[in-house]
Homo-oligomer: A and B are copies of this chain.
Amino acid sequence: MNRAYKEVQQITVAVDCLIFGFNDGKLELLLVHRGFEPERDRWSLIGGFVLNEEDLDEAAHRVLSDLTGLDDVYMEQVRTFGKAHRDPYERVLSVTYSALVLKKDYNDELVKSYQAEWFPIDGLPELIFDHKDMVDSAMQRLRRRIKSGPVGFNLLPKKFTLPQLQKLYEAILGEEIDKRNFRKKLNSMDFLVKLDEKDKSESKKGAYLYELDEEKYNHIKNFNI
C-alpha cells in the first residue's frame, strides 16, 4: 500500500436514504421528485453528497433533514454501491442508510413542501440509476432485522397498541401473523408494559396501549419473531 495519497484518484461520495414509513397498515417509501437535470421528472431516493469535514453518518442525517425536514430519525447503514458506472454522468459512490418511521409522527405538509412524497412499497415509480437495487437490499435487511432483533421499536411512538405493532410486522414481512402466537411471543420476552389507557382510534372496543420497559428492552437475549 503506497500512501502517496495525493496521487490517488478521489471519488464523489453520496449517501442515499431509504426512509420506510408505516401508516394505515401499509409500508411506504419516501422519494423525492427531481425537478432538474439530469434525470428531470424522475423519482429518486433521498440523496446528497458527503462533505469534507463530515462523518458519513452525519452526512446521512443532514441530507435527510435538508430534503425532507425530518430530524432525529434513527438510521442504520445498509451497504455501499460502487460500480464504476452506476451513475452514468459521473462516478459517484453511494452509501445507503435505512430507517423506519411512523408517518403520523412527522409533518406530512412539511415533507410535501420539500417535494418529497410517500409511495406504497409495492407501487413504486421507476427510480433512477441503481436505486431499485438499493430498495431491494434495504428491504431484505429490514426483514432480517425485524425478525431477529429488537428493531421496529426505535421507531415506534412511545405508546402503541399490539394490533398496530402486529400490522407493522405484517407489512414488513409481507405475510399474516397469528394474533395469539404474536402476543404470546412478545409477552414471553417481557419488555412490554401494559398501560391503563386504551386507544380507540382504530376500533370501537379500543386496544390497550403499551410502552417499552427500556431497561429490559435493552437486555434481550433471544429476540425472535
Q: Judging by beta carbons under 8 Å apart, are A67 and B1 in contact?
A: yes
A3 to B44, CA, bound (A): 13
Q: Is A8 within 8 A of B49, CB to CB? A: yes
A56 interface contact, C-beta 8 A:
yes
A80 and B67 contacting across the interface, CB-CB below 8 Å: no
Which 4 pairs show the lowest CB-CB distances between chains A and B? A56-B82, A10-B10, A9-B52, A8-B49
A95 and B82 form a contact (CB under 8 A): yes
**A21 on the B face (CB < 8 A):** no
Interface contact A1-B82, CB-CB below 8 Å: no
A54 contacts the other chain (CB 8 A): yes
Most chain B CB within a 10 A radius of its CB, from A1, A54, A81, A90: A1
Partner of A84, one of B34, B54, B83: B54
**CB of A17 to closest CB in B, whole Å:** 11
- C-alpha gap A176/B33 in the complex (Å): 54
Judged by a CB distance under 8 angstroms, whether A32 is at the interface is yes
Instruction: Give the docked Cα–Cα distance between A48 and B4 (Å).
Output: 11
Inside 8 A of A84's CB, which chain B residues have their CB? 52-55
- Complex partner residue of A56 from B5, B44, B80, B90, CB under 8 angstroms: B80
Is there contact, CB below 8 Å, between A82 and B48? no
Select the residue from A59, A84, A91 with max chain B CB neighbours within 10 A: A84
B56 lies within 8 A of A83 (CB): yes
CA distance A79 to B47 in the complex (A): 19
Can you give 9 A-B contacts (C-beta < 8 A)? Answer: A3-B89, A5-B12, A9-B52, A11-B52, A13-B82, A55-B82, A56-B81, A56-B93, A80-B95
Taking the nearest CB of chain B, how far is it from the CB of A18, in angstroms? 15
| Known pairs A9-B50, A13-B93; A55 contacts B83 (CB<8 A) | yes
A108 at the interface (CB under 8 A from B): no
Report which of B10, B47, B80 forms a contact with A11, defined as CB distance below 8 A: B10
Cβ < 8 Å to B, chain A residues 27-47: 32, 34, 36-38, 44, 47
